[in-house]
Amino acid sequence: MNNRLLPAVLALVVGLLAGFLLYPMFAGGDEAAPAVAASDDADPQAEAAPLPVVTSRSTLDLVRERGYVRCGVSQGLPGFSNPNDSGDWSGIDVDLCRAVAAAVFGDADKSRYTPLSAKERFTALQSGEIDVLTRNTTWSLTRDTALGLDFVGINYYDGQGFMVRKELGVKSVMELDGAVVCTNTGTTTELNVADFFRSNGLAYSIVAFEKSDEVVAAYDAGRCDAFTTDASGLYSERLKLADYNDHVVLPEIISKEPLGPAVRQGDDQWADIVRWSLFAMVEAEELGVTSKNAGDMRTTQNPAIRRLLGVEGAFGQNLGIPNDWAYKIITQVGNYGESFERGVGVNTPLGIPRGLNALWKDGGLQYSPPVR
Ligand SMILES: N[C@@H](CCC(=O)N[C@@H](CS)C(=O)NCC(=O)O)C(=O)O
């Protein structure tokens, strides 16, 4: 054999063998798949080898065959993903999952939810237990490259903040020298705390739990001086405190936390479907298309709206789904602004202003590439 071809042939043989052995882990079927070790992000220096993704069947095929989309969500973060007493989930991360179901099936209700702790979430996606992770998860380089996953958008631009008891009289994080800080394990939060306190020459100790309710309980019981997480999480978790008027959120934001959906790496079509389901919601808001007026808008002469609603063109077909995919998302879930206001906006208990999550034309960062 030509010596120059030998390495290529060997690589092919090894690749095929690895594919054969690893297929069951990534096939995404309903059968219990062996868990694949996920970095819990606790050590940013940890070497994490890229995980090969070997699928013979597309996620879209598997989802269609099953009849519903499986989304990984938080264990209960009001406004983002939270179950009510009847077990029905709601929030902006749930809306994103419902949007994917509406795009694929024309029915947002064809979606199911798996509550996951921060630590469990990546393994659940890698092993095929879920089809998409829609769980206040920060897009970082390590997560995007070393875990066999792909982040496909940002549905909430966030940053990390701190909350303290008012009676401490603390006005700034710079006054937290020597503080005991409560947070969640397996999060970027833990890593940022270490960076922040070290780089500012401040001493600290951390009390971390896997479950958020444990973190909240520990903070509420006075086991720590400060509670730190994504600012969105502070808005949400403080509703669980005995009396949230006794607490104050400090003004500093110490990190960038772009929260968005992730899928398994290597299935571009599925990544496109999730990415464009989010974009369709943002584009609809920009074009003034809402859940209420989308039906009437189908007769508009505005070409951008006609394309979005599937009246013109075959944009759904290019994604492998029906051409009225975005119409179904908008009528059943709403546009991005409607979802934001319903889940976390100023008129909800969370009371979050749009801020960075306003549309680009209103000074925010939410922006969809054109549907054309
Ligand atoms: N965005 C950060 C933090 C995510 C996180 O797990 N935050 C906690 C605190 S807000 C949480 O989601 N709690 C709700 C839960 O675990 O169900 C990350 O991706 O690491």
Helix H or strand E segment including 69: strand 69-73
Q: How far is the CA of 185 from the centre of ligand 1 (A)?
A: 9
Q: How far is the CA of 82 from the centre of ligand 1 (A)?
A: 13
> What SS3 string covers 9-66?
HHHHHHHHHHHHHHHHHHCCCCCCCCCCCCCCCCCCCCCCCCCCCCCCCCHHHHHHHH
For residue 155 and ligand 1, the question of a CB distance below 6 A is answered with no
Q: What token pair was written down for 123?
A: 């393994």
Block residue for tokens 């920009």: 286
239, 211, 338, 149 alpha-carbon torsion, rounded to 10°: 160
- Enumerate residue ranges in the chain where pLDDT < 70: 1-55
Q: How far is the CA of 274 from the centre of ligand 1 (A)?
A: 21
Please give the pLDDT value at position 91: 98
For residue 271 and ligand 1, the question of a CB distance below 6 A is answered with no
Euclidean distance between CA atoms 358 and 367, whole angstroms: 9
Q: Could you give all domains of the chain from N- to C-terminal order, each with its CATH number?
A: 59-157+259-362 (3.40.190.10), 160-255 (3.40.190.10)
pTM metric for this prediction: 0.86
For residue 40 and ligand 1, the question of a CB distance below 6 A is answered with no
Q: What token pair was written down for 367?
A: 């922006």
Q: How far is the CA of 367 from the centre of ligand 1 (A)?
A: 24
* Residue from 93, 149, 151, 184 whose mutation best tests the ligand 1 pocket (most atoms within 8 A of CB): 184
Please give the pLDDT value at position 53: 53
Residue range 84-135, pLDDT digits in tens: 999 999 999 999 999 999 999 999 999 999 999 999 999 999 999 999 999 9
